[in-house]
Each structure stands twice: as structure tokens, then as C-alpha cells.
Structure 1
Amino acid sequence: MEWLIICSAKKDLLENVVLSKFAEDWSRLKNRRISDNLENSHSSINVCKGDLIKQQTDVIVVCSSSQNLFDSICKAGGNSVSASYKLELSKMPEASIITVKAGGQLLSKRIYFISWKTNSDESILCKSMEKFVSDALDKAVEQNYRSIAFPAIGCGLLKCSVSLIARTMVEEVYRKLQRHSISVLFVIQPEKKDVYDEFQKQIQLLESILPSNKLRKICATFDKGTIEVVMGDITMQKVDVIIGSSSSAFLREVIIKAAGNDIQKAYDFESKTHPNSILIATPSGILPCKQIFFVKWEPDSNEKVLEQSLVDLISTVVQNVKSYKFTSIALPAIGCGKHGCSIDIVVKTMILEMKKHLITKKLPWTVKFVIELDQKNIYNEFCKQVLTTQDGFHEPKTYHLPITWEKSIEHKIRFKLTITTDEYRFIVSNFDQTMKEKYTQIIKIERIQNERWYMQYIAHKEDFERRLKKNTEKSLYHGCPEQAANLIIEDCFNRSFAGKNGTLYGFGVYFSSNAAYSHGYTSLNTSGERCMFIARVLIGNTTVGNSSMKTRPLGFDSTTDGNHIFVTYHDAQALAEYLITYK
């Protein structure tokens, strides 16, 4: 067949080409994941008391608008650092980063000078700090550095909020570490104990509730197969085969660069030998897969032509995966990036066609659609199509959003309720029944409008009702710290967070019909406020739990204390409806 361009002998030959360097390259890849400067080898982020000048990380980051820090680094680096900085600045006066080779008393390899200014508007301030961290990490990864040290910008003479600075910088680092393997160190001046304590607190909090390897993911089964939608890096997927497009230079280069130089040679050889082939297969190099398929595909402005090209692409992928006897695939959101194709057509067609193949051929495969971390709208669309099409042949089912939900052109997901509405009064009335002695003031009540989460929950609810022939939904409370609440609103009640506050009735997410009980799991923020969710929870068939239960017992959907506590074991089993902030 034309699309099967590597016969068994040629496949063995190409694998032998890379075999000699495989162990060395794989070892080097693993070493990139090891922290060079952190006390805990399993962690990629830490904080220490010390001097930025003495850090032995590959890179140190300097805020060029912080005169004291700038002067001390230039003095320690000697004339070469000062001269290099001035030269680079004259060449690129508008550059966001000036990179200079370290020297003198500096123990690092490179210095990144980044300009940053404070702002009285907290929203603008946070965005500028996020950019400061993001730009530095992106540059370090681009230059293949493995460790980087940051100062606590804004916590000195500028007198910015220490908690805001620490939270923003730490959260941005964690966001970037979902995609990149690099050791990050925050270096705090020894006399600034409050700053050190705050950074340590933010790191510990995130480590306890957001494991760094936990990416956003939803999945659904279709006959014997499973389709997953995950946010992450396609080159890091542990599957049999990773799919790329030979027509997308950017995607092709990303995959080949991650796979290693030998794969570039293998690809060049095959593309020259078989220039008209629909698919080029290469070994995986140092990627954690068995094979890479580069499928020929071209975008088109004509919607019918575009749709048909995607139908053909999925068919080609399925046919070749079957011939190799593979059972797991990772596909990118082809056409949704620089090609600028209709996201609606691309996503609908790819998901629908893959479902048809899984169902009609009864394929026991795992198919991953891997979406880049900064493409949240595309991720949401993939989730919608996976969760709303029932069998791969009918039109997607439409879920109606709650009538109380407000429209937002800014894609907001938190809406503050007006105190004069019946919606607000009803929530306060129920909250007050068990909380009279435990609070003095409600600061605000926010309605949570996370559409992706809502659709996932409703699909789960309908499955419960079909299976159990009854409605087992309850309105329950869930108390937690403010930072945990912010993460939950974005990414649901994640079961991987379980265990922090005990596992008396099972290792899951805890809810209660008694707000006073959930109050015990809240904590004060810097303003002396607490927060508590009101959630819709599917308890299904429930049984009394105990601390030995790592998951729900066979035949049950949740565990309970037999009274007011319910424990869930599936991320889509609960939906946050409101967040109450109170004192």
C-alpha cells in the first residue's frame, strides 16, 4: 500500500541507525528532569534564603529596573557583563529580554535582564509578573538550560503585596512546568523572613493540591475504545504512536527536535525517497512512544474540502495504526493553530470520524487529542464534542445552560450575585440554618459558570439516571482555602487533591449537607475571609465508607458517614455552583 512506506527490513534498518545513541539520548532526556539546585530531588520548584550572585543555576534572572539588584549583579560580573549588557541593549533597545554571558564572581552560566514595572492596578500587576516569569522560562527552555533562579521582584523598595507577588510568581511557574522540565529556584534575601515564608507557603500549598504532572483531561468510552482530551505537550505522550502533519512545518519541527537529530535524518531520507507518500513513518528516537507518523494534510478555505480532507486524514491514521497493531495514539489539534482553520469544523470532524472508526470496527484503542496549554478555547471545543455526541453517528446533543447564567463576551466564569435577588436570598437562608454561630458577615456570593465542567457533569448525571432509574443529585457544601477554591473553579473537584484533610470515609473528595461541618475545612485569607462552595453532587448508590477505601466499592458510586458526609471518586461527579465568601 502506498501509505505504508516502511517495510519490515527498512524499519529495522532505521531503528538500528538510532539504536546506538538511544540509551545516551534517553539518559540525557531523563537527566533534564532532575533538579540541579533543589533540596528535594523530586521537585522542580523551591525557595531558599541567599544571594542571587552565589547561585549555581544555569540562569539567574535580574529585574533591570531594580537598580540595587542590577548594580550588584553588574559589579559581581565585572566589566565584561556591563559591557555586554550595554552592547546588547544598543542592538535591541525594545527587546523584552537581554541575555548576557555571566562572568566575574557570578557562578551561573547566563544572566537574563528583564524590564518590569509595578502598577497600582492588581490585575495589571499580576499580568506583568506572569509575563516576567513566562518570558524567562520560555527563553531558558529555548536555550536548553536546565535550571533558573528568580528574585522576589517588587518585595523590596517597591513594597508590593508579598502574598500577591508570591502567589502570582509561583502559580505561573507551576503553569509553565506542566509543559517544560526545568528546575526553578526563588532566591530570597536572608533578612526578609516574611517574603521567604510566603513563597514557601505558596509552594507547599500548590504541591499539596496540584501535582505538577496532573494535566487537564476528560475521557469517554465508545464501544471498546476510549477518547481522551488532554492539555499538554504532544511530544511527552506515552502512547504507541504520535501523529504529526508533514505539511505543518512548525508541528513537524517541534516533534523532530524533541525526538533527536537521527529522526531528522530518517524523515529527510523517507521524504526524498517517497515524495508522494500520504504518510511517513519514522522511529521514535528519544520520545516515549514507539513510532511517529507524519501524515500529509493541507488546510483549505473551502469548508467542504476541509471537512473531507480531515475525514481522509483520520482514515489514513486508523488504517496505519491497525497495520502496525498499535492500540494508543496521540493527535494534535491539526489546523487550529497558524493555519487558522474553522475550529468548529476541525474539531467536529476529527472527533466524529474517530468515534465512527472506534464503534464500527470495535477498536480497543486509547485515542488522545493533545491540546496546547494556551489553547483553552480549542480544548473546551474538543471536550464539548467528546461529551455531547452519544454514538458517533448522530448530531451532537445540545445541553441547555441554566437560565440564571449570564452571558459574557470576556469568557468570565465567576459572577457576583446581587443581594436583592431571590437566588441570593435562597442561598443565604440555607447557609444561615447551620452557620448562625460561625460567621458574622457574607462578603459576596459568586455564581460559577464553567461551561466545560457543566457539560461534563450533565453527561455524567444523565448516565447516572439511565443506570439507576432515579435522580440522586444533592446540593452539598465543600469548604477549602481560597487558593484551592480558585484552582477548583478552573479545573473541578480533582480527586488527586484528596487526602490533605483526612480520609476517614474514603480517599476522595468530601462534601456535607451541614455548612458548619464544611466550615471546619476553610481557612482565613489575608483579609480575614473564608470561602465555601455550594455544589451539585451525584451520590448515586452510596455505602458507609472507611479509611481503607482508595476508591468506591464495587457496585457503589460514593461513600458516606451514614448522615451528612458524602465522598465522591470521579472528577465529574460534582459541580461547583456557587462560592460563598464570608467572615
Structure 2
Amino acid sequence: MSTFATNFFTCMHVRTVTWYYLLPSTPQSLRGTWKGDRATLTWQTVDGIYRYEVFYRPTGPHKNVKWSSQDSWGSAMVKMDVDTGLHYEAYVVAKNRFGSSSRSSTINGCARAPEPAQFTVVCDTTKPSLSLKWNAVSCSAGYIIKRKSAIESNFHVIKTINNSSITQSQDTNIIYGMSYTYIVVSLDCSGESDSSLSVIVCRRVPVPNHFVASTPKGLSATVLLNWEAVPNSTAYHIYRRRADDSIYQKPILLTALRNPNANSYLDRTAINNVKYTYTIASEDSAGVSSQSTSVDGMAALTAPNNFSAEPVYGTNCIILSWTEVAGALGYRIWRSGGQPSFEKEIGLLSHEYSTKYVDREAKHEIAYNYTVETFDKNTKYGPKSNCIMAIVSKIMPPSERLKIEQKATAPIMIDVRFGDLITENVDAIVVCLSSDQLKNKILNAAGHSVSFTFADAHRRDTNGCFKVSGGLLPCKNIIFVPWKGPTESLNISEQSIRTFVAISLQCAQQHECLTVAFPAVGCGGLGYDVHTVAKVMVSEAYKQKKANNQTSMEGSTIPSTWKKTNGIYNLRIDVPINSSEEQAVLLDFHRTMPNYDSNSRIIRIERVQNERWFRQYQIHKSEFHRRLQHDTEQRLFHGCADGETAVKSIIEYGFNRSLAGTKHGTVYGLGVYFSSKASESHSYTKPSNSISMGERYMFVCKVLVGKTTQGNANMPTCPAGYDSTGNGSTIYVIYHDVQVYAEYLIIYQ
């Protein structure tokens, strides 16, 4: 080998080249959006790669499921189909020609069902409900409807629907006038979606349907209104105007019924034969609805009910009575029978509260037929009542006598129970005039006509007890009795309670009421123990019944001078001339009228034999004696200024305190006046205008003066703790009808 060749070889260098494989960087900032059945993943772009591979799988109970993968060619985003409501984990790797990057961080997510769209709430105009609708969410498992009212702070679930295809519902549990807010959410296996847009709605109460007006059968001055009750309403407003008013006349509010279940109303303020126009509106918590279509109604006079005829045996009288007809100005009474036999008018009463008429011209043993009809202020007559027949006899039939004896000796039955006095089906309920709450409750339930009758009767008789019809109540009558118990203690008030029971039973007996219901007096405002009060009242009731039975026994308390004619006591009997009975009466008369000529001016003396009045007086007398422990009965005089008419009324029905002050003044109190001097009573008499040449009338009376005190003109009632008032010497004023009995009538000139 040459030298040159050797050098060449020596100078030759060999270079070694190393190749490096560059793998892609790990993707960063992996994020996911999960909604419905789709998941969208994004991350930062990695340079020098040609694709990404995303791996994902369910977690939780599905953790052992193999990874699924999905490629993304060049884009740093991938959209995947997933199951709604399942939780997933996912990561991504980048790839180039040399291989794959390391795994990105793992993210977790859940594809939730979206909220329903197009949510609406619509009011149902025909029903008390709301209709709710929305668009279906196909990937959901169902829906939840939530609601809150204007007075609630949080939503609460009102319905859950486990079917994604059902996209409507109804809410029937609503209150008219209340504002509600609604939302709806979708359901998936992980719970609820976001809520839909909220909807606020207020369902107003509708106008009542089927509103009609009619004239009720048997009710005068009344229009009946009916309608269909509106569920969830709180009240009804009824409006009225006269039909002949201008159409521009605004109707006035007649009443507001606070009973949401009411579907009828009786307008008892209507005038008969006047046409009215009515409308009605409903009320809810937000106010009053619009008014209904108007209806017309008219009230009409009706025939009097409960028409009866009661012969007064031994007289020529038949007492006719009936129930008051509201809106009537008066009544016309008709009679047929006897001579002439055709029907004729025998009486005309021009007062709406006059419900009794006495036929004083009936002949014995003749059958009479009676009817009564009403008339109003326009002199329009209503239908006649049913026809009833009556016969008056000189002798009381044995059957009637037996009835009286049975009433007098009937055993007493007392039932003490808790309940409502309004519901008692008895002959009479007793009401304290001093108890405004009970009195108003009873009158409101009894109806307008009873309230009017009460006001008139109370105005005429402010101090004593009186009776009115039971009206709409189950009871036949209502007896009002004054009572005001002392407030110190029940012991002090026990006597007043006993007096209240005694007076009530006397009034009930006077009106032939056999069954009576009492309130527990003093147990309201005064706070008395109800059991103690009941014990006192029961004790007094038994005592009064026992006393009544004793006085009912023939001959036990009836004066020996009384005489029967054909088995009965006539109301008026002439006292035999020059008899010891006559001399006893005249002795006091002459002694207290020193200037009177006793030999020529006495016409006659009559004995008053009113058995019922006398027995009531005897009961009262026993009560006075038991309470005061001594006899306070006095024989006093009462001058009668109105002649025979007033005399007959007093003998039949007793003294009428409603006339106190109308003619004779009220110097010592508003009651009935008596004097121990005949000369004082004589000054109040007047000569009659009859053919009997100026007769005068003076009663000789038994009067229970009790505990008396000085009276004055400002005393409408007897002061508490006293039984009478007066001038302190000769004049006495009494305030209870059964506190006096007219024993004799002196007729003189």
C-alpha cells in the first residue's frame, strides 16, 4: 500500500447520528358540558398531533364498565352520546406518528335533563281550576310541578308525573282571589333539572250561575232568591233596585252573606206588589266579582196562617186569632151562619200587628164559619185564610172542662241539658230582655216580622213580660221577661232568679203554653255557675207547679162567694143588694168618699170572676209572702175613664200597662195607678155617654204592694229591690200585671 493511500485512510472521520422521537404534549384544561343525552368536552390544542382520543365511562354503580373512546380529528372538542342522569368520568390523550401523550386530568360530569320549555298556565272559565302545559323533554323520566301562593315564601310540590310524554296537568286546589306562582322541572335518574320560567296567575271567583227570583208560598212581603253556590267563594253580595227606577239607577247592596255555602236568601224587606230587579256577585280574598245577569221578583200578600176560633163559654164571644202576615196593613174578618146566612164582613183591623179579633155578637148554639184576609197600603187584598167553624154555648162541654182540669193537674217534667235555645221545639222559649246578645240572636233567627212585632210590643210595654210569635223558629212563641240580676254574688241574685222563673211560668200559663224552655240566666255576662243556676231554676219551677196545682183544686182558693152558672164561672156577677158582701165593699168606698150620697147614686156592684187571672194572682201572692215573710196585700181603688169598653178589656185580659202615661200621667212612675182613697180614684173617672145617664166605673182591687218606695216621673220600671212605687201614703204604682186582681166593679153616678 502506498504512502498516499495510507494517509488518506488515516484522515477519514466517521460521524454517528442519533434520532429522537417527540411524543405529543398532554392536553390541558379539559372541560365538559353535560346536558340531556349529550356531553361536549373541550381542551387546549396540542401542536404537532393529528388526532385526539377521548376515553369515558359511567361511575358509581357502573364503575367496572370498560372505557369507551371517541376520536376527534384535529379539533380540541368532542361531542358524545351519553345516558341522561348518569355520572361519567372522562380524559383525553393526544396522538401523533410517534405515539400518544400521557392522560389528561380526569373530569366528572352528569348529563341532566333540560328544563321544560313553553310553560303556560290557563284559567278554566267553567271550573274552579287552572290548566298547566309545557313542551315535552324526551330524555326526561317525568316532571314535577311546584307552586307557591302570595303568602308563602317557598315553592312546594303539588304534583309529580312519572311519564315524559304527559305534558299537561290541572290544579284544582286553589282559592279564588289568591295569587299563585308556578314552575315545572324535568326528572331524570339523578333528580330534578333546572326550573322552567315561572308563571304567576290569579283565579278570580266567577259569578254564581242559575240565579232566579220567585215568590215563596205562604210568605208575604218576601222574595226568594236562589243560585248555585260557587266553590271556594267567601261571600255573596246581593243587589236590588225597584224595576220602575231608571235603568241608570245604580242598584244598592241589599245584603252580604258571609256563608260561602249559601245558595238562597229571603228578602223580607220587599213591599208587596212592587217589582224589584236583583243581581248577585261572588266575593273572594281579592274582592268582589262582577254582577250577574239581573232577575225580576215580586212579593205578594198571603193568607193568614194558624187561624183559630175559641168560644168563650157562657158569653156571646168567640175569640179569633191568627199569625201576623208581614207587609199587611190590616185584616178583614168575615163570618157566615145564623141570620143572615150569607158571608158578611164583621170586622176591619187597620193595624198590621193586630192578630186577634173578638166576635161579641155570636148567638148561643149557632154554628158560625169564619175567614180572615189581609190588605196592604194600596188596599189590595190577599187570599183568604182557611175557613173555621165555631159554636159558643152557655154551658162548657164536658170535653173542654176535662182539658182544663188535665192541664191544671198534669205532672211536671223538667229536662236540664246543654244546647241552643233556638232549636227548642216547645210552646214557648223564654228570653231575658236584659240579655242583648241572646235577644238579638233569637230575633235574627226568628225573622224580620218577629223583630218588628217585638219592637212594637216592647215600645208599648217596656216593663212587663210579653209574648210574640216564634216566626221561623221551631218554637210556637217567644216570651220576653225583664230580669237583671245583682252582680255581687249568686246568693244575692237567687231571689231574682226565682222571681224570673215565677213570672215566666205565669206568663206562659196565661198564654196556655204547656212546654217552656228557659235560658240559664246569669251564666253569660254575670258568670254564674251554670249548675247552681239550673238547680235554683228547677227548684222554683217545681214549686210554681205545685202551687198552681193547689190553686187549681176546686174550692181550695176560689172565694166562697163565687157562684157558678151551669157549671162555669161567669166573668161578671151582680152582688146581691144589701148582702154582707155588698156592705163590705161599700164600707171602704163610703169611708174614703165622705161627700158621696150613698143612698141614691150606687147603681150596682159586680163581682169579677176571672178564674185564670185570680189563680195567677194567688201564685204571685204566695211568692210575695214567701219572700217578704208577711202579707202586703191591700184593697185599693182604680178609676176607669174609658167607660164600658175599657171595663170589658180589664175584666177579660187584665190591666194594660202599655197605656200608662198616655192619659193619666206618670208622676210616680210608668205603671198602673191605684189609691187607698176612692175619692182620688173618682177624679180619674168620667161619666159615660150612654143612655144610662152618665155611669162611672171604679174597680176595687186586691194589690200586692210588696216593698214600696217613693216614685217619680223618670221611673220606667220599678227600682231594683222594690215591688211598687207611689207617693208614700195613698197612691201605689205597680209594674207587673199579675200583681193585682180586680175583685169588684162599682158602677155609680
TM-score tier (shorter):
0.3 to 0.5
Q: Which has the higher contact order (CA 8 A, sep 6+)?
A: 1
User: Hey, which of these two has a bigger chunk of strand by percent?
Assistant: 2
* TM superposition score normalised by structure 2: 0.33
Query: Which structure's CA Rg is the greater one?
Result: 2
More helix by share: 1
